[in-house]
Chains A and B, each alone.
Chain A
Amino acid sequence: MDSLSYAKFPFLRDAAEYVKDQGVTLEDLLTHQAYRQARARGKARVIDALEYGVIQLRPMATEGDCLEEILSYPMARMYVSGVDDRFLTRRYALSEGVTMYERLEREEMDIVEEVAYQLDVSASQESGSLRMHFSNYLLYTSRMRSKDWKLINTEVKRGYVLLPQLRFARVLQQALQDKLESELPLPLDESILRALADDINDLKERTAIRREQYKAEDFGKVSVENFPPCMKHFIGMAQAGENLPHSARFALVSFMHHIGLTSEEILNLFAVSPDFNISKTKYQIEHITGEISGTEYTPPECTTMKSYGICFNPDSLCQNPKAKVKHPLGYYRIKNRSKKSAKAVPSSRS
């Protein structure tokens, strides 16, 4: 691979080696005038992620351009770590993943294989496709919601699956996303934070704005009317002062958290529970929302809720095979969407 490939795929281990060979030190990168452009590109990487969800192509015609592009990647990682916000980290990881996916589409198979190797995804070329063990395939695809990615809808032969380039690139996207989410935020020492303080503050503000917009787009105003029947049932129980089983409490808190309610708002909901204990409940909520545990839990899927015996009053949307509701959050999204589109119909005719 050459410097152009490293510029296109700056997360590769070999790209880091290349930077080392060029003799660029961390201090130079952070402060030296010569790397002002690399720092700017790094910040632009983060802004692109926030605004577009994909990193824009920048000039890579000369060795100098390429080096700046490669350096923009470690810079971006430092910015994201400096902001230290889960929303930004996830969005950044997703954008890097999507960008790589789009770029891999136009690459030779050898490059694709090399990128896979450097991301620790074991795969080998076979008759124009990439072959991987089904257990590796599952590591990256089991959380994809689309039916197309289910193992059952994939040809598994003697332990292996064969994927055409584009499909394989999508698997790599997930691998890169997972890798970045697990690596970031990096621990930054004071001197780095000081050097980048202005940009980090700017990015913090941009993140806050974007997050608000994103929430508004994605979920609409929180309306209990659109909650799935299980969640309505739990809220009814909580407000009637009944005790919720632990699994239901967990499902409800993680659901409310995911649709954007604050811990305070969730806490108020439980204030009428018979065994309400403010500090204990607060602790439980903060555990589930990730403020204490560091793990932000997602509500269980419908199948899991069913096996816990807490799937209450499933309605026609839950059971509609075409709607494919597999998750309480999925139900909520569909309900919100259908409300919006229902409104959109008359206005489009007028």
Chain B
Amino acid sequence: MGLDQEFLIDWFHRFYKAQPPRSPPHMDRREFGFMFFDRNFVQRHMGFATEGEMQSFLISQVPAHVYHSAAYYHFPSAPTMNEKRWGGADLIFDLDADHMKGADSMSYEDMLARIKVELIRLIDDFLLGDFGVDVSDLKIVFSGGRGYHIHVSDERIIHLKSHERREIVDYVSGTDLNIDWVFPERVAAYKTFQGRTKESRIRSIPSPSSGGWKKRLRTGIEWLIEDMRARDVTDLKNRFPTISKINNNIIQGMLNDLYDRSQGTEGAKLMLENNVFAYFSDRRHLNLFMSLIYDEVRPRFRSEIDEPVTSDIKRLIRLPQSLHGKTGLKVVPMSREILGAFEPLRDAVPNMYPDDEIEIFVKGRQTGNLRGQRYDLEGLCEAPLYLAIFLIARREATLEIPSD
């Protein structure tokens, strides 16, 4: 075993002795799984009867990663899934930088901040909002790595199977939203000219008292109207790349219809007062506005979750209060009130990691913030232990000092 592995095992061992994690709710019905620093497989199908049993396992075996099943089983340690007998599962959401667009070009810190925005939208708008989940059934957890997990344990929800959970996934991620349902079209008037009848149709806008995605897109329209108000055509094309190929005259026409006050009240205001898209002078202006709603508003009002995780009813999830083997950070559970002020790179560093300095070799140059301290390290250097653990776990530094 290498020096780095020994070092991490030593500190994980000390951590588990000093602050052993509490057992998850209904522990006796959960399957546990582990990965180790020095073994290449996941050890699954384990079960513990008591918290003490679980804690002794952590202290003696010092796993790199600790997981428990989101599912409740009748026989959690049975060797096959069928024999375990599934009896419900927490609804899990995983928000991970790996699944977020544009995350590759961000720093670790920025990435975590971006994820938190998605997370708060998921919790406040979808879970506590639309789905009416009670805060007491909601557990928010920093994963110790690149994101957050949410465990929902509402009695009515835990019995849902994969198909039903997929509907929840689609709901949250804005998939298959039917625009004709949100903005139904009706015939407003008939015109007959030289024996030919022409219908004119108008689309309605959901009222402020509507619910679900109707309400969400109404809020979205209000946002869009304010966001575009002070922009000219060029500015708008930069802001919303999905319309970059649209003819400038059409864009200008749409803006005029919305904001021009020469006829009295502006169109945008009338639209929202009367809940109807009736103030566009040209069909193409309306179509452009509709495409902005779908392509620019909808993505800003959904939440980017890792989809297969939520619809999987047999998945393993990290044990809160355990350590993440690839960062050395703690998997931190927290309430919604705490979340606002939570800063993972400050608050998830275990407080029992000391700040005594040790010598490490940093691969390339590594910069960032940890425990509220800025670091900028390169090559052979001294670093406080808590930072050394973080960098070595992330394989950005090593104790194996190269000889040359």
Tell me if B133 counts as interface (CB < 8 A to partner A). Answer: yes
Question: Which of B162-170, B244-252, B287-295 faces chain A?
Answer: B162-170
List B contacts of A138 (CB < 8 A): 160, 164, 167-168
Which of A133, A136, A155, A160 counts the most B-chain CB atoms under 10 A from its CB? Answer: A155
Q: A150-B167, A153-B181, A158-B132 are in contact. Are A135 and B308 (CB under 8 A)?
A: no
Q: Is the CB of B160 within 8 A of A153?
A: no
Within 8 A of A (CB), among B94-134: 129-133
Q: A133-B156, A135-B157, A159-B132 are in contact. Are A152 and B166 (CB under 8 A)?
A: no
Question: Which of A139-147, A212-220, A228-236 faces chain B?
Answer: A139-147
List B contacts of A303 (CB < 8 A): 166
Q: Is the CB of B211 within 8 A of A147?
A: no
Tell me if A157 counts as interface (CB < 8 A to partner B). Answer: yes
> With A and B bound together, what is the CA distance between A148 and B175 in angstroms?
13
Q: Which residue of B lies closest to A149 (CB)?
A: B167
List A contacts of B157 (CB < 8 A): 135
Q: A143-B163, A156-B131, A157-B130 are in contact. Are A150 and B170 (CB under 8 A)?
A: yes
Q: A138-B167, A153-B176 are in contact. Are A148 and B212 (CB under 8 A)?
A: no
Q: A138-B164, A151-B171 are in contact. Are A156 and B130 (CB under 8 A)?
A: yes
B47 vs chain A, min Cβ distance (A): 26
> With A and B bound together, what is the CA distance between A156 and B211 in angstroms?
6
> With A and B bound together, what is the CA distance between A148 and B132 in angstroms?
22
Q: Which residue of B lies closest to A303 (CB)?
A: B166
> With A and B bound together, what is the CA distance between A148 and B184 in angstroms?
13
Tell me if B178 counts as interface (CB < 8 A to partner A). Answer: yes
List A contacts of B168 (CB < 8 A): 138, 151
Q: Is the CB of A307 within 8 A of B308?
A: yes
Chain B residues bordering chain A, tally (CB within 8 A)? 30
Q: Is the CB of B177 within 8 A of A134?
A: no
Q: A157-B211, A159-B131, A160-B132 are in contact. Are A152 and B163 (CB under 8 A)?
A: no
Q: Is the CB of B176 within 8 A of A152?
A: yes
Q: Is the CB of B308 within 8 A of A139?
A: no
Tell me if B200 counts as interface (CB < 8 A to partner A). Answer: no
Q: A150-B176, A153-B177, A158-B132 are in contact. Are A142 and B167 (CB under 8 A)?
A: yes
Q: Is the CB of B163 within 8 A of A148?
A: no
Tell me if B220 counts as interface (CB < 8 A to partner A). Answer: no
List A contacts of B171 (CB < 8 A): 150-152, 156
Tell me if B210 counts as interface (CB < 8 A to partner A). Answer: yes
Taken residue by residue from 153 to 184, chain A's Cβ proximity to chain B (1 for < 8 Å, 0 otherwise) reads as: 11111111000000000000000000000000
Q: Is the CB of B214 within 8 A of A155?
A: yes
Tell me if B333 counts as interface (CB < 8 A to partner A). Answer: no
Q: Is the CB of A152 within 8 A of B211?
A: no
Q: Is the CB of B178 within 8 A of A153?
A: yes
Q: Is the CB of B170 within 8 A of A155?
A: no
Q: Is the CB of B176 within 8 A of A147?
A: yes
Q: A135-B156, A135-B157, A159-B131 are in contact. Are A152 and B213 (CB under 8 A)?
A: yes
> With A and B bound together, what is the CA distance between A150 and B212 in angstroms?
12
Q: Is the CB of B210 within 8 A of A152?
A: no
> With A and B bound together, what is the CA distance between A231 and B166 in angstroms?
24
> With A and B bound together, what is the CA distance between A148 and B166 in angstroms?
16
Q: A148-B181, A152-B177 are in contact. Are A142 and B164 (CB under 8 A)?
A: yes
> With A and B bound together, what is the CA distance between A96 and B311 in angstroms?
31
Q: Is the CB of A135 within 8 A of B176?
A: no
A220 vs chain B, min Cβ distance (A): 28
List B contacts of A154 (CB < 8 A): 212
Tell me if B174 counts as interface (CB < 8 A to partner A). Answer: yes
List A contacts of B131 (CB < 8 A): 134, 156, 159
> With A and B bound together, what is the CA distance between A133 and B154 in angstroms?
12
List A contacts of B178 (CB < 8 A): 147-148, 150, 152-153
Q: Which residue of A lies closest to B175 (CB)?
A: A152
Within 8 A of A (CB), among B139-164: 154, 156-157, 159-160, 163-164
List A contacts of B176 (CB < 8 A): 147, 150, 152-153
Q: Which residue of A lies closest to B214 (CB)?
A: A155
> With A and B bound together, what is the CA distance between A152 and B214 in angstroms?
10
> With A and B bound together, what is the CA distance between A141 and B166 in angstroms?
12
List B contacts of A153 (CB < 8 A): 176-178, 181, 213
> With A and B bound together, what is the CA distance between A152 and B216 in angstroms?
11
> With A and B bound together, what is the CA distance between A273 and B129 in angstroms?
53
Q: Is the CB of B212 within 8 A of A155?
A: yes
> With A and B bound together, what is the CA distance between A155 and B209 in angstroms?
11
List B contacts of A134 (CB < 8 A): 131
B152 vs chain A, min Cβ distance (A): 11
Which of B157, B159, B167, B168 counts the most A-chain CB atoms under 10 A from its CB? Answer: B167
> With A and B bound together, what is the CA distance between A135 and B152 in angstroms?
13
A164 vs chain B, min Cβ distance (A): 14
Q: Which residue of A lies closest to B158 (CB)?
A: A135
List A contacts of B214 (CB < 8 A): 155
B334 vs chain A, min Cβ distance (A): 23
A-B complex: 9 closest residue pairs judged by Cβ atoms: A159-B132, A157-B211, A158-B132, A138-B164, A155-B211, A155-B212, A151-B167, A142-B164, A135-B156
A residues whose Cβ falls under 8 Å from a Cβ of B: 133-136, 138-139, 141-143, 147-148, 150-160, 303, 307
25 contacts between A and B (CB under 8 A): A135-B159, A135-B164, A138-B160, A138-B167, A142-B167, A143-B163, A150-B171, A151-B170, A151-B171, A152-B170, A152-B171, A153-B176, A153-B177, A153-B213, A155-B214, A156-B212, A157-B130, A157-B132, A158-B132, A159-B130, A159-B131, A159-B132, A159-B133, A160-B132, A307-B308
